[in-house]
Chains A and B, each alone.
Chain A
Amino acid sequence: MRIDGGCHCGFIAYEGEADPETAAICHCTDCQKLSGSAFRTVVPVQDSDFRMTGGKPTIYVKTGDSGNKRQQAFCPQCGSPIFSAAPGDGPKVYMIRVGTIRQRDQFAPKVQVWARSKQHWTNDLAAMRSVEKQP
């Protein structure tokens, strides 16, 4: 389906084509740190389907446990994480951060990866006290 999204401040905007069946949660410790949250939610978008329509993200290249390098793109003005991709030139797959997609409600994750470092309380959210707004 068509998607469009951007960072919180509006500097970064993009559009593309993504399949909700391929949305996923990543519980790896890198994603916990880089999101500042419990996990990350991602969906792949092919190079040919992805178009940046706003500003230029800052790129941070992280080196994984495997030694693989990975570009992490974020907004230089508000910090919103936008995507990760392989470094260098040539066609890529962009792993878009689902929280930045305007249609994010339609991207329910279908798989959880790196479950070995999962924060286990995330299984029990239905039982956790909740308030509609902020107290």
Chain B
Amino acid sequence: MRIDGSCHCGYITFEGEADPEKAGICHCTDCQTSTGSAFRTNVPVPGNAFRMLSGEPAIYVKTTAESGNPRAQAFCPKCGTPIYSTTPGDGPKPSYMVRVGTLRQREQFVPKKQNWFRSAQPWLAALADIPKNAKQG
């Protein structure tokens, strides 16, 4: 389906094509630190279907993957919103792992799979039982 998204401040905007069946969670410790949250949510967008509409993301090349593969992490230089990861360097990319929280259509991207589950935060399994406030408590 068609997607479009942006960072929080609006400097970065993009559009593309993504399959909701491919949405996933990543529980790896790199994603915990880089989101500041418990996990990351991603969906792949084929390189030829992804288009930046505005702004130029800052790129951080992380080299801590267990595989040793470097990975470019794109974020907004003005507001810090994580946008995607991809293979480093110039030239066409096979795909972009877009951060689902930045998508306008994010409600439609229910993750289907949890990767790196061995480092998942254990409390996530019982999230439904944590007391809730509709707004701020």
Contact = CB atoms under 8 A, between A and B. Distances in A.
Interface of A: 7-9, 24-25, 30, 32-41, 58, 60, 62, 72, 74-82, 97-100, 104-105, 108-116, 118-119, 121-126, 128-135
B80 A114 contact: no
Contacts, number: 203
Most interface-central of B35, B66, B106, B137 (chain A CB within 10 A): B35
Interface of B: 6-9, 25-26, 28, 30, 32-41, 58, 60, 62, 64, 66, 73, 75-83, 99-102, 106-107, 110-118, 120-128, 130-137
A8 to B, nearest CB: 5
Q: Give the interface SS of chain B, mostly helix, strand, loop or mixed.
A: mixed
Given A72-B80, A77-B60, A116-B135, A36 B102 contact: yes
B8 A33 contact: yes
Contacts of A8: 30, 33-34, 60, 62, 64
A35 B64 CA distance: 20
Contact of A126 (B9, B30, B125): B125
A43 to B, nearest CB: 11
Contact of B130 (A33, A104, A111): A111
A122 B125 CA distance: 9
